[in-house]
Structure 1
């Protein structure tokens, strides 16, 4: 089979398309003929040999990727034959997803409905599940004015759709005219380009006196701080990343003087009693019934290096997916 291999940390072109042996499922595992593999921004950082929080750089050589969708082609000892031929999506126990075939623990498998394609399934298994968790913390209602940073991204595009369905007024912030237009098409009432210096003023003008009550911030840095300044008294600021390179700066004075609340929305506080599997099932259910439709940017497996480069250059929309 073919897989993407990383032999040395560094730029995207270090990802190479190679022929490697087929993986063999161990006890409690299945082998999946991969139709789609998810790509995360964090994987571009790990590729450079840098850690992110609890995530350490992998041992080399490695086949990156931790989420796949496809068809079960073989089962290991202790796994029932009824799994053979089933369409599934799974989070892997480690790496190995950027490949034509991958092994996964049977307990990680989620069946994929016939009308849901592999790219959608892989977009929703982790990114969609994270969106479900963050939205559970945010508790958005029809009374809210929600500002979504990176609104054309994998998480942001789902936040826009969910907030609109909750009846909130939705403000989407994205980079570049094409992404701004995409944010409008998925339901934002107001869409602005953060690359224009006056984007906060444009939001204030468009809202006509209404104040932002919720910010969902995965950007951080200067743009995140400007978003914080748009929050009205009593507003909620939820952080879920910092694509700009550093978290949004928030002081105790901000919270006290403006009666704000700030929450790091990723982690135990977003996980329901049913665990992360419940979040994944909710996400896949939303995709199956059409209530959430992920934006997807597709690359063939052999162009994984291009996918990483485009993701780092912010040239993608929604979830980046490799197709085998």
Structure 2
């Protein structure tokens, strides 16, 4: 089979190599899946660089979420068991963690429903307890993680403010349903949001960026507001001043979605049921901006790493009968 492999750490476009290799052999509790579509995530770039919290042995195949097919023909969502990731014709996954792919979504959309939307649901509902009528601010609102949070926020009845970088991404955020879009390259984020909220700020702030975005969040969070930290796409990990949180009376909430798979897997299943229902009634629909063949996976990962993508890029795989 064909699979992209990383033999040394570095930039995705430089270290990912498409190779011909044998199909992986399932271990105890694992299943072999034919990959129907693999979604490109920022962690794939971090894996290539050797900067992710999980460091699989070299060589490994990146690709952390897929829509796949079991040997008995079931269409499922999975987070592949590294080092046998999703940018290949076949991948391995833990049998107990498989989730049924929603019928309302095609393969690429289904692959994109998993990590980003689970992260959004846990961040907004489990951690921040977002309520209808509250104001939600989403950084990187046109990206894969941000676009999921925008849709989930709107589905929850929140007023959603999307912060983006550039006119193209601003247009995408408006199409997603943001009530207000702020282009950080052309506008003063803090002044614009404060003016739009009467100086109050946002009840919940969803931050997958870190760095300057977090600094803005601390200035924009409302009384009894909640900042949900879900990642550091900027490459800069903030060091929050806890005295500031005390004086302004807000909470900083961390979210590591992957922990729920081991700490509370039943809640992951419950979340998937909620997401499947939302997808069935059209309340959410993953934004798949590009669908590329397996041969273009390295370029797709690099595009996400460079921050040049909107929504999700899906790598589709065709296997000869």
TM-score w.r.t. structure 1 length? 0.87
Deviation string for 1:231-284 (max 9, x for gaps)?
A: 233222121111112233421221121112211133568976723333334334
Q: Tell whether 2:53 aligns with 1:22.
A: no
SS for the counterpart of 1:36 is strand
Q: Equivalent residue for 2:274? A: 282
- Aligned match of 1:109 in 81, 90, 98? 98
Q: Equivalent residue for 1:198? A: 188
Q: CA RMSD in A?
A: 2.3
C-alpha distance in 2 between matches for 1:153 and 1:175: 10
Q: Equivalent residue for 2:117? A: 128
SS for the counterpart of 2:61 is coil
Alpha carbons of structure 1 residues 273 and 46: separation in structure 2 relative to 1, 3 Å:
closer
- Aligned match of 1:218 in 208, 219, 228? 208
The unaligned stretches of length 5 or more in structure 1 are 75-83
Q: Equivalent residue for 1:168? A: 158
Q: Equivalent residue for 2:58? A: 60
Q: Choose 124-133 or 192-201, whichever is displaced more.
A: 192-201
- Per the TM alignment, residue 305 of structure 1 is displaced from its structure 2 partner at its CA by 1.3
SS for the counterpart of 1:299 is strand
C-alpha distance in 1 between matches for 2:217 and 2:146: 14
SS for the counterpart of 2:246 is helix
Alpha carbons of structure 1 residues 216 and 4: separation in structure 2 relative to 1, 3 Å:
same
- Per the TM alignment, residue 208 of structure 1 is displaced from its structure 2 partner at its CA by 4.2
Deviation string for 1:138-186 (max 9, x for gaps)?
A: 1112331111111112221121122222222211001111111111111
Q: Does the 8 Å CA contact 1:238/1:262 hold for their aligned counterparts?
A: yes
- Per the TM alignment, residue 5 of structure 1 is displaced from its structure 2 partner at its CA by 1.2
User: Based on CA coordinates, which of the two structures has the bigger radius of gyration?
Assistant: 1
The unaligned stretches of length 5 or more in structure 2 are none
Q: Equivalent residue for 2:35? A: 34
Alpha carbons of structure 1 residues 188 and 16: separation in structure 2 relative to 1, 3 Å:
same
Q: Does the 8 Å CA contact 1:215/1:228 hold for their aligned counterparts?
A: no
Q: Equivalent residue for 2:241? A: 251
- Aligned match of 1:156 in 142, 146, 151? 146
- Per the TM alignment, residue 90 of structure 1 is displaced from its structure 2 partner at its CA by 1.6
Alpha carbons of structure 1 residues 269 and 135: separation in structure 2 relative to 1, 3 Å:
farther
Alpha carbons of structure 1 residues 34 and 226: separation in structure 2 relative to 1, 3 Å:
same
SS for the counterpart of 1:243 is coil
C-alpha distance in 2 between matches for 1:210 and 1:258: 12
Q: Equivalent residue for 1:77? A: none
SS for the counterpart of 2:116 is helix
- Per the TM alignment, residue 19 of structure 1 is displaced from its structure 2 partner at its CA by 1.6
Aligned residues: 311
Q: Choose 104-113 or 1-10, whichever is displaced more.
A: 104-113
